[in-house]
Structure 1
Amino acid sequence: MKGSGATCERTRKERFIAHIMLGAWYKLGLFLLCYQIISLEGHPEGHYVAAVYEHRSILTPNPKVLTDRESALRLMNQNLDLYEEQVMAAAKEGVQIIVFPEDGIHGFNFTRDSLYPFLDFLPSLQSEEWNPCLEPYKFNDTEVLQRLSCMAIMGQMYLVANLGTKQPCNSSDAHCPADGRYQFNTNVVFSDNGTFVTSYRKQNLYFEYAFDTPPEVDYSTFDTPFAEKFGIFICFDILFFEPAVRLVKDYGVKHIVFTAAWMNQLPLLASIEIQQAFAVAFNVNVLAVNNHHPSLGMTGSGIHSPRRSFWYHNMESPEGKLIIAQISDPPADADLLWNDTSSTTESYREFFSKEPSCEENDIDAPCNKGWSHETVPSFHSTMMYDNFTLVPAWEEQGSLQVCSNSLCCYVDYQRHVLSDDFYALGVFDDLHTVHGTYYVQACALVKCGGPQFETCGHEITNATDTFDFHLWGNFSTSYVFPILLTSGMTLEIPGQVGWEGSHYFMRKNQLSEGLLTAALYGRWYERD
């Protein structure tokens, strides 16, 4: 009986692989001529064509119910079929690298045991190459990796995807879970010939109890013929030093691959806001892709450079979206782009010279006295689950200041459309403790949800008032992310950002849409 079972298993696997290979090479034949014609056109030096696919993943109806491997593969192959369609569409456009979202293949909300049949085995390959499409029998339980590898061959492009992986361990490993296996939330990278390039295991899990945190942080990078030094991380990782900031600071990464199943939270942490802010703050390109489930608040993907963004955010459509863009290497010197203070206004310089001080830990200190033509009342409102201190921006133009703990925020603004919309300047300098624990220093000029103070911090997506503004603060951290979002969930690139003395600033004139959020979102990692 054992031999018969093994034969059945081998027959099933052979049929599965034969299906993959026949389909792969047939479709490759159909598209190869078109791809070759596009490739002959070439790309300008220092440029490449990237794609991200915001995928509406097909989900198992009962993720907590135990199932078997064959049933798990049937579900995952439905998602992989959609991936394959996007690869072929991207190939016709000359795409050189494509990225798929976190949880796009297997879904989410599993228990540890119910997730297990959905996991592929990911071998450790320090000294040997492996092409799963061409070497399918080398390792067991690698069916998903095999399909992804074949897609990379079909499209003749680098491919990055997220899946669940497993790794056996034993009692000699002090970190080994009680059930004798690790379960990791993993990104995998394949080259354009299907070779497995590298993997990354998510470090900062977001209430993902079915997965394990890796015993050591992965600093995963890879080079390509068209752009050097890509770095990889996943979703919640973007808010932490390890590995996201470390990759940029210590590993020389200039291109980021970022997969996510990100639930948007306005006004400061919608997915496209933080994606673009990371690109601007660190002078890198970010290929960012989100899962598409608007009912769960999941949408928002983009291809971002420090100077331009191509993005998709749609809470209405049930469909996914393929974003394709030609992107260039980031400029060599970010300061030349972002810290040109030659055009800084005299009033802006004057504000720096008259900076008042606030007493430590006194969030009610009357920091605004003497700052504007009349005394502006400060108030408190909950924004992003945090208790912000704010002052209203009632006038057509003005200068405001508000302080909390060691952080003082300033804005010099002029409104070109003066409606009844209520805006306020807010500050937060403390430990964020809801849905994660991390230290935030934030200065934010936001549109409020109504005329009442307590509506500041509500999730607003449309506005009519356009602004010119300078926004700055005396941040204690050197890691500040500039966020600029306008009506209709429209991204705009800041006019100037950077440091002047002990202040980090953002300047923007001539907004094309009404202002939703202009914010400097600082992360004080050492105080997490």
Structure 2
Amino acid sequence: MMDNIISLCRIVFTLISIVYVSEMSRLPTSGKPTFYTAAVYENAVVFPEKRASSYDEAVSQMFPNLDEYKRQADIAGTLGADIIVFPEDGIYGYLFATPSDIENYLEYIPDPAQVDWTPCTEPLRYERTKIQTFLSCLAKNNSMYLVANYGDKQPCHDTDPNCPKNGHYQYNTNIVFDRNGKLIARYHKQNLFFESQFNTPASPEFIYFDTEFGRFGTFTCFDILFHDPAIPLIEKYNVTDIVFPTAWMDALPFLSAIGYHSSFAVAYNVNFLSANLHQPSKRFQGSGIYTPKGSLAFYYNRSFPDGRLLVKDVPILMNNSKRFEKKKVTLDTSDMQFIQRHDFQGRVFKDRYNFVSLRSKVGNVTVCQADLCCYLSYNRVEVTGNYAFGVFSGVHERHGPYYLQVCILLECGSDNATDCYHFTFLANGYFNNITIKGNFSTPYVTPQVLTTDNGNLELLPPNALKFNERGFNV
């Protein structure tokens, strides 16, 4: 049984797609481990009180966060963690308006595909690498893989027509160290979200690293809504797991951190390790350890000021030998017999949806907008709450533009039966069974279910949601 928001959504940014992938199987158990231990840390970031005027001053401002990283990594290490993930902007925050504001906080990060470097044992090989050295030693001393987000300062020359006037590019960067502290991966964020302090790479990077417990791809925050680099990592490079530093501001109802990140794991059959910032007053919250079967652990707290370390055993996955299959969610002719005109139009996430109000305990309904029709079958305990089933197909302009197709069941936050503009964290009523599907124009679909508990969002337990080309059922 669940309450609040139950949604099936497809998100496509301008000719780009999110892809449904075929089932992956567990690693054979003969003589091989079947689980690894993952940790993610949601950091209540300490922001600099003023802009640093030098690199050394910037380092001193970053160390309150790095000291917290050490405390949490040491705890995870004692619990046997094989890998730990820290959030985007977790070392210095996000309050930088210009490239010059953040420049003193950055370091040159060499390409590990070109150099073999362990900062912990070679701290003087490059100038100003105190942060990388600290992180490298943290990985080495705890014998774990460590994923952090930091800023890269890459020099460029006059021969490069795009080289900035200051003579270097600045990139929002994920860096990965192995158990010995060696730098093994560097990823420059492709899809920036109002980050004028950083440059956009000339082309997307598809960065992955191999471990004894799987092949891990990495990308950052807003990247998840774009085809590149996320989808090729899964389809072409055969990653089984994603490490995902993020500074994610919830955009309800269907772009909450825990909701969308867990849906990505289900849709693409990957383990997904998501580490977010913790700043509830600004809607930054929600980290988790997710699998194709659902959430193993998540943290979502809108009132508690402190961050949280999550540590869980995660099933090891392996790729099937066959190609990934893109399965398209469809409607049957029988589903169309329940089609009806919408009762009202209401705005959700600034878009105008066609909605049908739910007035009975049991029902079937199909509602359409433009080229998309959405079908709902439901059974609930009693008729309570202002629930509506809606559909949107069109261009989303806010922080876009990009194209959206969404089928959504939610409780509207207003007493007005025709107003779903306001969302709620305190929903009423329980559903015994729900099936949602739609005739989406592509197979790029992510299924999502959110529930509420005393004002906080919750996720269903593992194996509670079933998703295939017939839609999803809970």
- Partner of residue 469, structure 1: 434
Look up the equivalent residue of 2:151 and give its one-letter code. Answer: G
Matched with 1:155 is 142
Which protein shows a greater Rg? 1
Q: Which moved more, 1:323-332 or 1:195-204?
A: 323-332
The 1-side partners of 2:299 and 2:142 are apart by 23
3-state SS in 1 of match to 2:211: coil
Contact 1:428-1:441 within 8 A present in 2 as well: yes
Structure 1 residues 333 and 446: CA distance shift in structure 2, 3 A:
farther
Q: Superposed, which structure 2 residues align to 1:254-333 within 5 Å?
A: 254-309=240-295, 310-330=297-317
**Secondary structure of 1:241's partner?**
coil
Q: Aligned residue for 2:348?
A: 383
**Equivalence for 1:490:** 458
| TM-score (norm: length of structure 1) | 0.78
1:223 is aligned to 2:210: yes
**Secondary structure at the counterpart of residue 89 of structure 1:** helix
Name the CA shift for 1:319/1:141 in 2 (closer, same or farther; >3 Å).
same
**What are the ranges of 5 or more consecutive residues in structure 2 without an aligned counterpart?**
1-30
Partner in structure 2 of residue 409 of structure 1: 374
TM-score by length of 2: 0.87
- CA gap of 1:255–1:125, structure 2 versus 1, over 3 A, is closer
1:98-123: CA deviations, max 9, x gaps?
A: 00000000111212101000001112
Aligned counterparts of 1:393 and 1:251: Cα–Cα separation in 2: 44
Give the Cα separation in 2 of the matches to 1:307 and 1:333.
17
**Alignment counterpart, residue 45 of structure 2, candidates 49, 57, 61:** 57
Out of 93, 107, 111, which is 1:120 matched to?
A: 107
The separation in 2 between residues aligned to 1:180 and 1:292, in whole angstroms, is 34
Larger RCO of the pair (alpha carbons < 8 Å, separation 6+): 2
In the alignment, which residue of structure 1 is the partner of 2:409? 445
Corresponding position of 1:28: none
Distance 2:401 2:321 in 1: 30
The structural deviation recorded for 1:428 is 1.0
Select 1:459's aligned residue among 416, 423, 436: 423
Match of 1:371? 338
Query: Would you say 1:481 and 2:408 are equivalent positions?
Result: no
Once the 2 structures are TM-superposed, how far is the Cα of residue 355 of structure 1 from its aligned partner? Answer: 4.7
Distance apart, 1:463 and its partner CA = 2.2
CA distance in 2 between counterparts of 1:175 and 1:272 reads 37
User: 2:338 is aligned with what amino acid?
Assistant: W
* Identity level (%): 38
Q: Deviations over 1:266-314 (max 9, x none)?
A: 1101000011100000010000010000111001000000113111101
SS at the partner of 1:354?
A: helix
Structure 1 residue matching 2:231: 3-state secondary structure = helix
Q: Which residue does 2:158 correspond to in 1?
A: 171
In 2: Cα distance, 1:377 partner to 1:328 partner = 44
> Is residue 385 of structure 2 the alignment partner of residue 430 of structure 1?
no
8 A Cα contact 1:266 1:458, kept in partner: no
CA shift, 1:461, in A, is 1.7
Gaps of 5+ in 1: 1-42, 341-348, 357-369, 509-528
Q: Quick check: which one's helix share is greater?
A: 1
Distance 1:447 1:331, change over 3 A: farther
Provide closer, same or farther for how the CA distance between residues 286 and 423 of structure 1 changes in structure 2, counting only shifts above 3 A: same
467-476 or 124-133: bigger deviation: 124-133
Q: What is the one-letter code of the residue matched to 1:312?
A: Y
RMSD over aligned Cα, in angstroms?
A: 2.2
Q: How many residues align?
A: 432
Give the one of 108, 120, 134 matched to 2:94. 108
Check whether the contact 1:162–1:186 (CA below 8 A) recurs between aligned residues: yes
**Contact conserved, 2:112 with 2:183, CA < 8 A, in 1?**
no
Q: Could you tell me how far apart the structure 1 residues matched to 2:223 and 2:313 are?
A: 26
Q: Deviations over 1:168-212 (max 9, x none)?
A: 102212332232210000000000110000111101000000000
Residue 385 of structure 1: CA displacement?
A: 1.6
What do the CA deviations read for 1:217-274 (whole angstroms, capped 9, x no partner)? 110000112x121000000011110001111111101100011000011110100001
- The secondary structure found in structure 1 opposite 2:63 is helix
Superposition misfits of 4+ residues, deviation over 6 angstroms: none
